[in-house]
Structure 1
Amino acid sequence: MKTRILLVEDDERLADLTAVYLRKNDFEVATEIRGDIAETRILKEDPDLVILDIMLPGKDGFEVCRAVRDKYKGVILMLTARDEDLDQILGLELGADDYIAKPVQPRLLLARIKALLRRAPGTSGVDSDEVPGETQELEFGSFRISQATRSAMLGNESVDLTTAEFDLLWLLACHAGSVLSRDDLLQQLRGIGFDGLDRSIDARISRLRRKLGDDPENPTRIKTVRGKGYLFSKHDW
């Protein structure tokens, strides 16, 4: 069965060209130009991945992402204007799994889609050679995280995570007690180094802290080590 993509883009010419390219690469692609209709379609059709532009009639991409994120478990890849850091950060804060700047380069888009889908639920996630001893489940006090089921539990409560949030949390947990720099995290999760500007890791850390009950002003579970990176605590659970 082909991977199903819903492309939400109001530039019909760009949408058509992108859809043709993705279909040639063996994806099943549907398109939508309106954000309000896209919201309904995402929840009804449940595609494997949504490519979501920001500037849309009806509802903008931020509104759509906010509305569907808690119910839709697939991957959301947002299209942002080049150099609009606030757009990228807001999209990630709302639960987008990744972003790509417009104008879209087809080969880069294809590579990003494939990378996201490899880590989506039901796939292998972070490569096993990045995980010490190919561990499938980790436990820290009241917190448990499973690579096999791509799930996390805090006490008796399930932690609702996007694909990208799970990948980041799993990677941090696998290196509990060690500091991972933004460059380390980006290299392993996206295959790119830290350019000094990318805020995607910071945005996801912020969301993870909220979901894990970590004090954003004085975090103890995912700590910021100034000038070095982030550290997942072994003991504060």
Structure 2
Amino acid sequence: MTDKEADRLLVVDDDPRIAQMLIRYFEDNGFKVTAVGNGAAMRNELSRNRFSAVFLDLVLPKGESGLELLRELRNTSDVPVLMLTGQDDVTDKVVGLEVGADDYIAKPFHLRELLARLRTVLRRRTANEPTGRRELDGNGSFSFDGWRLDLSRRRLTSPSGSDVSLTTGEFDMLVVFVKNHGRVLSRDTLMELTRSRSLEAFDRAIDAQIVRLRKKIEPDPKDPTLIQSVRGVGYVFTGRLD
């Protein structure tokens, strides 16, 4: 991805005033911005261009739901998504973050705060990118110890060829571990990279999620060989990348 591509944002909002405000502000801050007003136009832009991040309104015209568009997007793309909403409903916020939003911002918002939160999301995504491109195959998947982790389809396949069901949180956690192979990750880092901090997660929530993940991928969850604990620090993924 070139620098020019890396600075491109997609705004999906049917309010032309908000769209124009975001275009002016973010272009003044060095980004290239494309704005569309519905899901069909969003799909068209995403099929033709690469974006660094998407601002997605929760409520769109003709009954379109931003959450449904986010679910659809997460089946094909890992692009960062910041949800914009005129509603400050905790349930919608939790659902959006669980579905895969990287942040959730209520209207009216301050543009400087929006820029700061976008930069935080982009820094987090950069930190979460694999350090060695050889680890990611041409189909957008990782392989480790016979397992196959398909990022585009958000699917985990066991060495025997069967699909293993993971929650959104478990999948995101495993992706973070595999992308940071061999790196010791603290609980704070895991909360940041998996977006769990937005849900006000606690250390014990991270530990519980890792326990559940180990039960699904470890030959012996009581004696883990893929996700190992580092006393007083956190966890490290030690699986063999194929």
Is the structural similarity TM-score above 0.5? Answer: yes
Contact 1:79–1:101 (Cα < 8 Å) also in 2: yes
Count of residue pairs the alignment pairs up: 199
Structure 2: distance between partners of 1:194 and 1:47: 24
What is aligned with 1:153? 143
Contact 1:36–1:64 (Cα < 8 Å) also in 2: no
Contact 2:70–2:99 (Cα < 8 Å) also in 1: yes
| Alpha-carbon spacing, 1:189–1:69, altered in 2? closer, same or farther (3 Å) | closer
Contact 1:125–1:167 (Cα < 8 Å) also in 2: no
Shift of 1:126: 5.2
Pairing 1:45–2:72 present: no
Structure 1's unaligned 5+ residue stretches are: 128-145, 224-229
| Alpha-carbon spacing, 1:48–1:193, altered in 2? closer, same or farther (3 Å) | closer
CA RMSD, Structure 1 to Structure 2 (Å): 4.5
| Alpha-carbon spacing, 1:41–1:53, altered in 2? closer, same or farther (3 Å) | same
Contact 1:5–1:30 (Cα < 8 Å) also in 2: yes
Paired residues for 1:120-139 under 5 Å: 120=125, 124-125=126-127
Structure 2's unaligned 5+ residue stretches are: 137-141, 155-171, 229-233
**Counterpart amino acid of 1:28?**
K
Give CA-to-partner distance per residue, 1:30-55, whole Å, 9 cap, x none. 11112333233323333222111111
Contact 1:75–1:97 (Cα < 8 Å) also in 2: yes
| Alpha-carbon spacing, 1:213–1:70, altered in 2? closer, same or farther (3 Å) | farther
Pairing 1:15–2:32 present: no
- Percent same amino acid among aligned pairs? 28
Q: Could you tell me the TM-score, scaled by structure 1's length? A: 0.61
Shift of 1:80: 3.8
Shift of 1:22: 0.3
Q: Could you tell me the TM-score, scaled by structure 2's length? A: 0.60
Give CA-to-partner distance per residue, 1:150-200, whole Å, 9 cap, x none. 7543424134178x7677435697336xxx54x5645x559x9969x6359
| Alpha-carbon spacing, 1:126–1:27, altered in 2? closer, same or farther (3 Å) | same
Give CA-to-partner distance per residue, 1:78-101, whole Å, 9 cap, x none. 224564222222222222233333
1:69 to 63, 67, 74: 74
Shift of 1:7: 0.3
Structure 2: distance between partners of 1:222 and 1:91: 28
Structure 2: distance between partners of 1:40 and 1:102: 26
